[in-house]
Structure 1
Amino acid sequence: MKENELRIFCPATIANVSCGFDVLGAALDSVGDEMVVRKVPEKGIKITKLVGQDLPMETNQNVAGVAGLALLAESGSNEGFEIEIYKKIKAGSGIGSSAASSTGAVWAINDLLGRPFSTLELVKFAMEGERLASGVAHADNVAPALFGGFTLVRSYEPLDVIPIHSPSELYATVIHPQIEVRTSDSRKILKTHINLADGIKQWGNLGGLVAGLYTEDYDLIGRSLVDHIVEPIRSILIPGFDKIKSVSKEAGALGSGISGSGPSIFAFSKGEATAQKVGEAMKQVYQKIGIDYDVHVSKINSQGIKILQ
């Protein structure tokens, strides 16, 4: 690796994790983008290469550029940076495409500046990229991408992110049907008020899931992966959703749900063998429906963004 240049892996993420809408997320290990970020003499940020997706390269229209500019504005730095983005996470897939670009930019720029900002501060800058992408500066994708593992956004004002223990044998299976559901569109159909009884059930599940992760109680994790508020509404946008959930459970998954705003569907399993079996069951559903898909089986990524040699 050249001096003043970093090549990094920016992980895909599962946000919401059923019962944790806008506050819970997890980083994946086997799927993500790659980025190259280098210092240059000219002040500011320039996107010089974008491979794999038809996305804007203008700095103020690209999530990586917007997030990086937020960091530079806070730092008062006169440094300049070029960014190359190699997109392997499809936009609108529901596994944190915009978060990967936003976090990769701020993480690498911070490192090249000598790390003046904490990981929590980087979350704040990366959220500006999410604001551009979806209209809402949410942190449930960017936080796990930066911290690694599972993260809980305890508060947005002030921002407070809690890293959560990841069980050693927990694997995720994610199927992405080749349709696009934009986060901004999927937010428009959500209700702005919830029933108190549903809220009580949801809070119980969120507490149970966090407890299950810390104690590595896989049965408790499975019982807690239930969304009473968002999934019943958003699932209507995803073909075959109920069937995917049922076959995943039959194949041995602990539980499943919508990844982010969809259309990807995730399932958690104990052990890689079960996660692979779940993936095969998911594939058969979309093969019968006639929808193209991608499937990813991944251990939970405890590190987050990684430097590539």
Structure 2
Amino acid sequence: MAPSVHVFAPATVANVVCGFDVLGFAVDAPGDEVIMRLKNRSGITISKITGDNGKLPMNPLKNTVSVSVQHYLNSIGRPDIGLDIELHKKMPIGSGLGSSSASTVAGLYAIKTLMGDDSSPEKLLPFAMKGEELACGHGHADNVAPALMGGFVLIRSYRPLDVIRLPHPKELFCAIVFPDVDVPTREARQIIRNKVLLEDAVTQWGNIAGLVSGLYTNDIDLIGRSMEDVLIEPVRAMLIPDFYKLRKLAMDAGAVSFGISGSGPSVFAFARNEQTAHLITQKVQEHLTAIKINSQAYVSKINDNGPKILG
């Protein structure tokens, strides 16, 4: 039997309210899985995709997993190697939880493993960004970097690419609710203003600095009061039904902070313990049910491990 590997890669929360395109962290669940096998015939094939309701392309020239893997193979001088890929979507598409990045990272970690490449997962980041570029038209790293590296990350610069892993309070829990509404990433980016007031920019800079300081000093109160977005959230909140009502419910239930995950529609909150995180998801889901919107909920700590081999 040809060598194969089965890899899981985690969902991620990008932006983290005030850090548009520069902050993100990984969670334990949900995530995606890739099974990759070497084969004798050259070229990449995709033999199976599950959990996507037929939305994702089987064509290896158009799928983020195979495209990013091909970029990696080109870089190591093995462009014609034979691979078969199975992609198992274990998380909702278009959720704002880095669905495409989880798939891409799982594929890249799988080929890295099959090739016996023991370099840092961070070396895969440029190839993962190629997958993001295909998925949403913009090769940002705030999903793929935490999915690859685990933990909480800051993208200090894109030119040159400079990614820093940040510490975080170990007791923090993340409560995530995905409302079943459609917010396509490309469209969510297009409604963002191209110009901002200097006053708003200064407020945003201060909040990002405060959040990073809170992460380094384990100051959860500082983390909470720094997670305010005056640039992106006021626009994107319009795409999420009753967003401000959901935020009030979460804060009243004990949330440290509340905001939009990525481009939405998923929302997330930080909590000081697991019990509070579950209470937050309960209150948010109850309200969504009352306005006839189905939802899915996830509670986990920040995932410091990133992708992992399942078999």
TM-score of the superposed pair, with normalisation by structure 1: 0.97
Q: Which secondary structure does the structure 2 equivalent of 1:242 belong to?
A: helix
- Maintained 8 Å contact 2:250/2:280: yes
The alpha-carbon deviation at position 192 of structure 1 amounts to 1.0
Code of the aligned partner of 1:90: P
* Greater shift in the superposed pair: 40-49 or 140-149: 40-49
CA deviation digits over 1:118-153, x for unaligned, max 9?
Answer: 423211101111101110000000000000011111
Cα distance per residue 1:11-60 (max 9 Å; x no partner): 01100000110111010102111111122222232111100102111111
The answer for the alignment partner of 1:193 in structure 2 is: 195
Q: Provide Cα deviations, 1:103-124, integer angstroms capped at 9, x if missing partner.
A: 1111111121121654232111
1:190 shift after superposition: 0.7
Moved more, 17-26 or 75-84: 75-84
Letter in 2 for 1:147: M
Q: 2:109 — aligned with what?
A: 107
Aligned-partner Cα distance in 2 for 1:292–1:254: 25
Distance 1:178 1:4 in 2: 39
Offset, 1:214: 1.8
1:301 is matched with which residue? 303
Q: Equivalent residues in 2 for 1:1-309 (5 A)?
A: 4-53=3-52, 54=54, 55-77=56-78, 78-115=80-117, 117-309=119-311
Q: Give the 3-state SS of the residue equivalent to 2:5 in structure 1.
A: strand
Give distance in 2, aligned partners of 1:116 and 1:29. 24
**Amino acid of the residue matched to residue 66 of structure 1?**
V
Hey, which bits of structure 1, 4+ residues long, moved more than 4 A? none
Using the alignment, how far apart are the partners of 2:188 and 2:4 within structure 1? 37
Instruction: Show structure 2 runs of 5+ residues with no match.
Output: none
Do the aligned partners of 2:7 and 2:107 also contact (CA within 8 Å) in 1?
no
Identity %: 47
**Deviation (angstroms), 1:193:** 1.2
Paired amino acid for 1:68: V
Considering only aligned residues, what root-mean-square deviation do their CA atoms show, in Å?
1.3
- Contact kept, 8 Å, 1:46 with 1:83, in 2: the verdict is yes
Q: Write the letter of the residue equivalent to 2:67.
A: V
Task: Give ranges in structure 1 of 5+ residues lacking alignment.
Answer: none
Letter in 1 for 2:115: L
CA contact (8 A) 1:18 1:225 kept: yes
Amino acid at match of 2:70: L
Aligned residues: 308
- Aligned equivalents of 1:44 and 1:170: distance in 2? 44
